[in-house]
Structure 1
Amino acid sequence: MKNNLKFLFVASEAVPFAKVGGLADVVGALAQSIKKLLPESDVRIVIPFYLTVKNYLNEHSLKPTLLSNFEIKIGNRAVNGEIYELNYKNVVYYFISQPEYFDREGIYVDVETKNDYPDSLERFVFFSRAVLEGLRVISYQPDIIQVNDWQTSLIPVYLKTEQKLNNFYRGIKSVLLIHNLSYQGIFSIDQYYITGLDWKHFNKEELEFYGYLNLLKGGIVFSDCIITVSETYAKEIQTVEYGNGLEEIIKKKADEGKVFGVVNGVDYEEWDPSIDIYLKEKFGINYDFDTIERKKLSKKNF
């Protein structure tokens, strides 16, 4: 493997800026791990510029740089966006800003109703298109774009369809990391127009799923390879029991040698109990009486 590869990780969340679940930990830790493994590599991460991201930046006196603005067509309207840059722990982070979509208290769910946002498809269609447009306007061409789960699964689709003949994107390979196959990004056919894709792609071999639009399915079909969180899970999702209706297309991908399992690791800095910002009572990794007492206090605080 070349040591100077250019990686772009695209996700709906990443530590320390925005976190709902394990996805955020994996994205942040994987980028750091690749940077350590391949010191000459160019590793970058892009996430939406959520309100929670802005709050984190303000709390830690971090100021990203505005690189450019752009316009994205979403359905029948044009939506303006901006791309910001921040160098954090030797990794470049990009933040895609669009206040209408991302200046909200919740990342995926309305904090008052506890329901998914009704414009979830629109938000992540915008984000996916904005990532690709953002790369063009800042003239950054990664070798590999690694996308995560359904929220960013349209990026491989756009690369292999609309941008197939575009010289800027032609050499970019896409990798889809599936964290949980249960969440597929399924939407009604009435919303398909929001993607901006030609209707010829709404078929059972590509984006159609029992009469609905399935974004994760599109990512599986159009990505150059798939990664899951373990070798066992990579095999399980090829079965009816665990495939959630996508087992056939995953097995087809596996038969082509394009499905891999990579076991999640632990970021020992992030999870160091002696410096963990989320622990009120911090303790070292070497056990003694004081450690046990502090663990008890931490559990009580939780």
Structure 2
Amino acid sequence: MRVLQVSAELFPLLKTGGLADVAGALPGALARAGAELRVLLPGFPSIVAGLGDAVRVADFHAPWGERATLLYGHLGALGGQPAYVVDAPALYQRPGNPYQDEHGHPYGDNHRRFALLGWAAARLALGLDPWWSPRIVHSHDWHAALVNAYLAFEPVRQGRVGTVYTVHNLAYQGLCAPHHLAELGLPASAFAVEGLEFHGQVSFMKAGLYYADHVTTVSPSYAREIQTPEQGCGLQGLLRRRATEGRLSGILNGVDQQVWDPAADAHIARRYDAVKLAGKAHNRAALQKEMGLEPRPGPLFGMVSRLAEQKGLPLLVELLPQLVARGGQLVTLGAGDGRIEAALRAAAAEHPEAVAIRIGYDEAFAHRIFAGSDVTLVPSLYEPCGLTQLYGLRYGSLPLVRRVGGLADTVVDCTLEDLAEDRATGFVFDAFNAGDMERALRRAFALFARPNAWKAVQRRAMAQHFGWDDAAAQYLALYRALGA
């Protein structure tokens, strides 16, 4: 079964969030399950640099006339995974991250930059590479979504090509003005409610939601939640219809267990596993020392996240005085909202013995936080899947999460009954307010005061299985159902 995966990011070559982790891990799992998989990526500098044995497959033109080259090679960072790269230096060889310039402003031609990615995927599905063509095109998030519209409007299709579109975060929709539609190579009829129109703009996201043969989300709970006004971002009507048609489902993300394994992690101070937990305490002491925190005995909370309201940071900032007063400590890694960054910096300045923050993203340091912390904080307003709570489980850093999206699917609260039934793996609260989160924090402090009970929950958390093989099997079943 030939599958083309299309995404804007791919770990470890380029990462701004969880999308890269998924795009980097899923291909290998699908290949192990029997798929013949290739990935398609935009030619950002780190991706081009990571493409080994690159050869030119073909030159082609974007709908607006710009010339691009399709390269083929292998990604050494992914064990030789075969890959296509869209080489268009004028569009992709730029400073900043894939979506914004060095000042944090979105590039004004993002509609062209990511339309070209979808256009290249459609050309591949229609025979651009004479030696290989996919039977399934699997696109991820708004950056790759336009391939679904291109194929839907293609008058001549060589055989059956199934399309799967995965929503990683519905809130980021890839909007542009309607006058761009013609340069994107789509007919005027596409600009309609039954198409790409969304409140007077063109929505790349809607290209996937409306035109794909099947839509998936990254957790079963999120697939249900986005059908509601609270989390549907104005698209809940379309999503309910797709669900009624049997064309919407949730497949839970996994963890790359080779990358995230405390028993073999080269980034952490001492390796450990669920049987030999002594190394966990060593990593905790090393993290406290690295971040200049006092070697206190209370629980050490870790947070690796975008610093945004969606991730529950306002709740954390409000509750920090209580967390510190109870004897807890906090280490945070992330960047985002300037006001949240300032609030955390102020807390770190006021309590340097208990609060530390590092602005930016550092993959190795993220590993050290999960290895050294006792609790992983993910108090999100909404969370399509969440990966940090899965990393926390894997490293025995018990997740404290809100019961939403993939967090609800993966963490079992430390209630009395769940502790008695050996099911508890973390701490869960319901309402997005400081009162509910504060009660979850109290449960964490109470359990931490019972070392034997804490270690039992740690071991149970580390025994949870959230590998990619289960997800890959579900995707393969979906591909087969689409007739590939």
Distance in 1 separating the partners of 2:262 and 2:181: 46
Do the aligned residues in 2 keep the contact of 1:70 with 1:133 (CA within 8 Å)? no
Question: How far apart are 1:105 and its partner, in Å?
Answer: 3.0
Q: Hey, what's the Cα distance between the residues in 2 that align with 1:296 and 1:8?
A: 45
CA distance in 2, matches of 1:127, 1:165: 20
Give the match's secondary structure for 1:8: strand
* CA apart distance, 1:108: 2.8
Alignment of 1:31-42 (within 5 A): 31-38=27-34, 41-42=35-36
Contact 2:124–2:133 at 8 Å: present in 1 too? no
Q: Which moved more, 1:144-153 or 1:289-298?
A: 289-298
Paired residue secondary structure (2:246): coil
Contact 1:153 1:176 in 2 (8 A): yes
Distance in 1 of aligned mates of 2:101 and 2:272:
36
Residue 2 of structure 2 corresponds to residue 10 of structure 1: no
Query: Quick one: distance in 1 between partners of 2:100 and 2:171?
Result: 21
Amino acid paired to 1:67: R
Q: Is the 8 A contact 2:163 2:212 kept in 1?
A: yes
> In the TM superposition, what whole-angstrom CA distance separates every residue of 1:107-166 from its partner, at most 9, and x where no partner exists?
3333422011111001011121123334523222212111011111110111110x2423
Report deviation, 1:78: 2.9
CA apart distance, 1:94: 1.8
Q: Tell me the CA shift for residue 233 of structure 1.
A: 0.7
Indicate the residue corresponding to 2:142 in structure 1.
150
Query: Is the Cα–Cα contact under 8 Å of residues 74 and 125 in structure 1 kept in the other structure?
Result: no
1:195 is paired with a residue whose SS is coil
Q: 2:133 aligns with which of 141, 146, 151?
A: 141
What is the deviation of 1:37? 2.5
Summarize deviations over 1:157-216 as a string: whole Å, max 9, x none.
11110x24232xx41100000011001111111222221111011111101111111111
Change over 3 Å in CA distance of 1:249–1:150 after alignment to 2 = same
| Match for residue 165 of structure 1 among 156, 164, 167 | 156
Contact 1:280/1:298 (<8 A) preserved: no
Could you tell me which residue of structure 1 aligns to residue 256 of structure 2? Answer: 267
Write the distance in 2 (CA, Å) between the matches of 1:25 and 1:213.
Answer: 28
Provide the rounded CA distance (Å) in 1 between the counterparts of 2:123 and 2:287.
45
1:236-255 correspondence to structure 2 within 5 Å = 236-255=225-244
Say which is worse superposed, 264-273 or 237-246, in terms of deviation: 264-273
Matched, 1:216 2:205: yes
Secondary structure (helix, strand or coil) at the match of 2:182 reads: helix
Partner of 2:214: 225
Q: Which amino acid aligns with 2:173?
A: Q
| Cα distance in 1 for residues equivalent to 2:95 and 2:271 | 32
State which drifts further: 185-194 or 230-239. Answer: 185-194
After superposition, residues 46-195 of structure 1 pair within 5 angstroms as 46-55=40-49, 57=50, 63-75=52-64, 77-86=65-74, 88-89=78-79, 91-134=81-124, 136-139=127-130, 140-161=132-153, 163-167=154-158, 170-195=159-184
Shift of 1:64: 3.1
In structure 1, the partner of 2:187 is 198
The alpha-carbon distance between structure 1 residues 223 and 268, as it changes in their structure 2 partners (threshold 3 A), is same
Deviates more, 1:96-105 or 1:77-86: 77-86
Within 1, Cα distance between the matches of 2:285 and 2:58?
Answer: 50
- SS of the residue corresponding to residue 181 of structure 2 reads helix
Q: By how many angstroms is 1:90 displaced? A: 5.7
Cα 1:105–1:267, aligned 2, differ >3 Å: closer, same or farther? same
Give the letter for the 1:261 counterpart. G
2:308: which partner in 1? none
In 2 relative to 1, CA 199–267 (structure 1 residues): closer, same or farther, beyond 3 Å?
same
Is the Cα contact below 8 Å between 1:52 and 1:105 reproduced in 2?
no
Contact 2:48–2:85 (8 Å) recurs in 1: no
| Distance in 1 (alpha carbons) for counterparts of 2:46 and 2:54 | 17
Q: Rate the CA distance shift 1:194–1:281 in 2: closer, same or farther, 3 A.
A: farther
| CA distance in 2 between partners of 1:111 and 1:243 (Å) | 29
**Partners of 2:97 and 2:27 in 1: CA distance:** 22
Q: Does 1:44 align with 2:33?
A: no
Note the residue ranges of structure 2 that are not aligned, 5 or more in a row: 292-364, 366-484
Match status 1:19 vs 2:15: yes
Matched-pair contact (CA < 8 Å) for 1:284–1:291: yes
Tell me, what secondary structure is at the counterpart of 2:192? Answer: coil
Q: In structure 2, how many angstroms separate the alpha carbons of the residues matched to 1:236 and 1:256? A: 17
TM-score, normalising length from structure 2?
0.56
Q: Is the 8 A contact 1:66 1:83 kept in 2?
A: yes
Secondary structure class of the residue paired with 1:194: coil
- For 1:131, the aligned partner's letter is A
**Higher helix proportion:** 2
TM-score norm. by structure 1 comes to 0.87
1:103 partner letter: Q
Deviations 1:48-78 (A, max 9, x none): 12112245x3xxxx62321323121342x33
TM-align CA RMSD: 2.1
> Any gaps of 5 or more consecutive residues in structure 1?
none
Question: Which amino acid in structure 1 is aligned with residue 46 of structure 2?
Answer: T
User: What's the offset of the Cα at 1:288?
Assistant: 4.4
After TM superposition, the structure 1 stretch with the greater mean CA deviation from structure 2, 46-55 or 116-125, is 46-55
Q: Which deviates the most, 101-110 or 235-244?
A: 101-110
